[in-house]
A and B are shown apart, each in its own frame.
Chain A
Amino acid sequence: METAIEASGLVKSFGRTRALDGLDLTVRAGEVHGFLGPNGAGKSTTIRVLLGLLRASAGTVRLLEGDPWRDAVALHRRLAYVPGDVNLWPNLTGGEAIDLFGSLRGGLDKRRRSALLERFRLDPTKKARTYSKGNRQKVAVVAAFASDVDLYILDEPTSGLDPLMEAVFQDCVREVTKEGRTVLLSSHIFSEVEALCDRVSIIREGRTVESGTLAELRHLTRTAVTVETVEPVTGLADLPGVHDLDQQGTRVTFDVDTADLDGVLRHLTRFRVRSLASAPPSLEELFMRHYGDRPEDAR
C-alpha cells in the first residue's frame, strides 16, 4: 500500500453551499500529513467524507484501498479518529469512555492504555462531567493511540492541551509513525505541524491551494531579506521578484520570491554588503498568504 488516502476532485454540496469544490488530497502510507486551512475551508467536511459519515457529491476517494462510504464498517477497524471538540457522556467515567471506544473499534491494547493514561496524566476513574476541555480531549487521544490501527485521523486533536501534554502528544505521533502507521493531522498550531509533518496540504474554500513538503512549499514563496550595504542600494525595485521594498539609507528590507533570490543577491553585492539576514517564510507566513486572497491568485 503506497497511498493511505487518495482523494481527487472531491465535491460536497449542502443545498447551494459548496463545502468542497474539487478538493485533492494525497496522503502516502507511513507519513504524517498536515491538513491546513482557515475556518470553514472544508477540513472537517473532508474528514467526514473520509470517515464515511458523509457521501461526496462528486469526485473519487480511496482510503486504505477501500471506499470510505461503502466499506465504512470494515475500514473503521483500521483507523482511529480524534475530533477537535470531544464531548463525552457526563455520567460515564473517562476510563469507561476509553473502553467504550476501544470495544467499538474492536479492542484496544491494555498495556498501551495504562501507559498512555500515565503519560497524559489522566485519572480514568473520574466522571466525564468533572473533566476540563483538555481532559476530555485526552480521553479521545488515549483511546485513539491505544488502538492498533493503520491510520489516525486527527482533527485539531490538541485543542485545549497544555504545552506539556502537547509535547507528549507529539511523542505519541512520532512513535506511531515509527511503526509505519499513517497520520492525517488537521491543525491550527503551526509549530506542531512544522515539528511533525512530512508533507502538508493547504486548502481554502473547498479546494487544495498548496500541497507538498514544507521545503517545497517554502520554495514557492518569498524570503524576507534585511541587508546593510556600504553604498546605498539602487535599482532593486526594478528587479523581478522583489516586493515590499523599504529603504532607509544603507539599510534595505524586502521580500523576494525564492526563485529570484540568486539574481537579487548578485545585484546586492555590487553595493558591498556589510550585513545580511534572511529568513525563510514560516509555515504561518505560508498559510497567511492563502488567507484573504482568492485561491487562483494566491501565489
Chain B
Amino acid sequence: MNAFTGTARLTRLALRRDRVQLPIWILGTTVMLSVTISSVKSQFPTEAERVRILGAAVDSPALLMLRTAPTGVGLGAMTTFQAITFLAVLAGFMSTLAVVRHTRQNEETGRAEMIGATVVGRHAALTAAMVVTAVANVVLAVLLALVLIGAGEPAAGSFAFGASVGAAGLAFAAVAAVAPS
C-alpha cells in the first residue's frame, strides 16, 4: 500500500491540530439538539398547539423545502422537523472546513510540499483528512442519538436521526475532497 504510507501519522497530526476545534463543533451541534428538544417541550406542550403550528407550516412550500415534510406530532417528529436540516448544515460546515484544513490549507501554505517530501504516499494526506472527518461525523451521530434517547425517544429512530446528520456531514466532506479549489 505504497500510496497510503504515512496515513496513520498524518491522521494523528490532524487529530492533534483539531483537538479543540472539532470537539467544539461536535458539542455545539449536540447542544443545539438539546435546546431544540426543550424548546419544543416548552413552546408546544399540547398536541393541539403542535397540530396548529404544523398546519401553518405545511401551507408554506418554502418552509417545507428547507425543513422537509413533518411526520407527526410526537416529540421526536417535532424535533426532527424543527432541527434536522439545520443540524445537517452544521455537520456540513464542520466537515467541509475540516477537509479543507487538512488538504488545501496545507497546499496553500506549502506545508503539503514539506510533507510530500517525506516518506508519505500520494493518497496519505487526503485519506488522513477523510478519516478524521469521518470519525468526527460518527462521534456526532452517536452523541445526537444519545441526546434523543435521553429525552425518551426510541433508540432506532434516535440512531437514524444521528446517522442522517452524520451522513450529510460525510457528503459535504466528499464534495470538499474532490471539488477544485
Question: Does the CB pair B113–A91 fall under 8 Å?
Answer: no
Q: Looking at B6, B116, B118, which has the most chain A CB atoms within 10 Å of its CB?
A: B118
Contact A73 B116 (CB under 8 A): no
> For the complex, is A273 an interface residue (Cβ under 8 Å from B)?
no
Cross-interface CB contact of B16 among A83, A88, A92, A106, cutoff 8 Å: A92
| Cβ-defined contact, A53 with B17, below 8 A | no
Query: How many Å from the CB of A25 to the closest CB on chain B?
Result: 18
Encode contact with A along B107-135: 1 for CB under 8 Å, 0 otherwise. Answer: 00111011111111110000000000000
Q: A147 — nearest CB in chain B belongs to which residue?
A: B118
Q: Given the complex, which residues of B lie within 8 Å of A89, measured CB to CB? A: 13, 17, 111
- Give complex CA distance A151, B13 in Å: 26
Are the CB atoms of A53 and B116 closer together than 8 Å? Answer: yes
User: Which residue of A53, A76, A91 contacts B119 across the interface (Cβ within 8 Å)?
Assistant: A76
Q: Majority SS of interface residues in chain B?
A: helix
Closest chain-A Cβ to B62's Cβ sits at a distance in Å of 42
- Are A73 and B113 in contact (CB-based, < 8 A)? no
Contact pick for A104, options B16, B109, B113, B120, CB 8 Å: B120
Residues of B within 8 A of A (CB-CB), count: 22
Q: Quick one: which of B9, B17, B110 contacts A85, CB cutoff 8 A? A: B110
Q: Tell me if A79 is interfacial: C-beta within 8 Å of chain B.
A: yes
Q: How far is the CB of B17 from chain A (nearest CB, A)?
A: 6
Cross-chain contact of B110 among A73, A83, A91, A101 (Cβ < 8 A): A83
Which residues of chain A in 25-53 are interfacial with respect to chain B, using CB atoms and an 8 Å cutoff? 48, 51-53
A105 and B118 in contact, given A48-B113, A83-B110, A85-B110 (Cβ under 8 angstroms): yes
Within 8 A of B (CB), among A43-69: 48, 51-53
A91–B19 CA distance with the chains assembled, in angstroms:
10
Check B117 against A79 for contact (C-beta < 8 Å): yes
When the two chains form the complex, which single residue of B17, B111, B118 contacts A91, counting CB atoms closer than 8 Å? B17
Q: For residue B115, which residue of chain A has the nearest CB? A: A104
- Give the chain B neighbours of A104 by CB distance below 8 A: 6, 9-10, 115, 118-120
Contact, CB under 8 Å: B114 / A101: yes
**Complex Cα gap A87–B111 (Å):** 6
Question: B118 — which chain A residues lie within 8 A by C-beta?
Answer: 76, 101, 104-105
* Cα A88 to Cα B13 with chains together (Å): 12
User: What is the CA–CA distance of A88 and B109 in the complex, to the nearest angstrom?
Assistant: 8
Query: How many whole Å from B181's CB to the nearest CB in chain A?
Result: 16
Q: Measured between C-beta atoms, what is the minimum distance from B83 to chain A in Å?
A: 32
A83 touches B17 (CB 8 A): no
> In angstroms, how far is the closest chain B Cβ from the Cβ of A42?
16
A283 on interface, CB distance cutoff 8 Å: no
| Whole-angstrom distance between the Cβ of A69 and the nearest chain B Cβ | 10
B60 at the A interface (CB under 8 A): no
| A197 sits at the interface (CB 8 A) | no
Given contacts A88-B111, A89-B17, contact A73 B117 (CB under 8 A): no
How near does chain A come to B120, taking the closest CB pair, in angstroms?
6
Q: Which 7 A-B pairs have the closest CB atoms?
A: A81-B117, A104-B118, A87-B109, A76-B119, A105-B118, A51-B117, A53-B116
Chain A residues with CB under 8 Å of chain B are: 48, 51-53, 72-73, 76-77, 79-81, 83, 85-89, 91-92, 96, 100-101, 103-106, 140, 153
12 contacts between A and B (CB under 8 A): A48-B113, A73-B121, A77-B119, A80-B117, A81-B114, A83-B113, A91-B20, A100-B9, A104-B6, A104-B119, A105-B119, A106-B119
Interface residues, chain B, CB within 8 Å of chain A?
A: 2, 5-6, 9-10, 13, 16-17, 20, 109-111, 113-122
